[in-house]
Every structure is written in C-alpha cells, then in structure tokens.
Amino acid sequence: MLFLDKTIELNDTEMDIYNYIATNLDTVIYMRIRDLAEATHVSTTTILRFCRKFGCSGFSEFRVKLQMYAQERTKVAVDMSDETTYIDFFKTNCAT
C-alpha cells in the first residue's frame, strides 16, 4: 500500500482518496492539501485522517514520504529496463 509494508483498513471514502493518489501520483506530490481535498471531494480534515492512517503526522510528511516512494519506484523501473537491455545484448551478441 503505497509506501507502507503492511495493509491497512480503509473505509470507502479513504479508498477513493487512495485510488486517486495511486492513479495521479506524479501530480499529488506537488498538490496542497486543499487541492487534494477538492479533487477527491472531501474535506481537508478527511485528508489529515487519511494521512494519519499511513503513519504521518500531517499532509506535509505524507507528501514527503510519497515523493520518496515515487522516486524509489522510478529508480526500480529504470534499473529493470537497464538490466533487460544488457541481457538482450548478451543473448544476441554472445550466443555460441
């Protein structure tokens, strides 16, 4: 679940927020709490409660963890594509 190792229980509204964040990760990391609340049609208090379920003291901390998660996810994707490029190269050029 995003940057958590464990699964937490979310109600329907929180699942809507989670799905919005997961779908729009690259834009959410730059949003203000008001912008996210408006986009998900909830109050800023609901966003704060959502952030606390993810072990964050507030939206700022949540956003920082989300940015680190996004960077790590991008890094893994780049590493995997580089590895497959090398494997393909060796398969085509070093076949005996």
Does the residue 65 lie in any domain?
yes
Does the residue 4 lie in any domain?
no
What phi and psi values does residue 39 have, to the nearest 5 degrees?
-65, -30
Does the residue 38 lie in any domain?
yes
59-93 vs 44-53: helix axis angle to the nearest 10? 60
- Residue 56's CATH number: 1.10.10.10
Does the residue 52 lie in any domain?
yes
Evaluate if pTM is beyond 0.75: no
pLDDT digits (tens, 9 = 90+) for 27-83: 999 999 999 999 999 999 999 999 999 899 999 999 999 998 888 877 655 555 566
Q: What angle do CA 76, 62, 18 make, to 5 degrees?
A: 75
pLDDT band at 17 (very low <50, low <70, confident <90, very high): very high
Residues 4-15, mean pLDDT to the nearest whole number: 81
Q: Which domain holds residue 49?
A: 12-93
Specify the number of domains making up the chain: 1
Does the residue 3 lie in any domain?
no
Does the residue 55 lie in any domain?
yes
Residue 59 contacts by C-beta under 8 Å, 6 or more apart in sequence? 33, 36, 47, 48, 51
Does the residue 62 lie in any domain?
yes
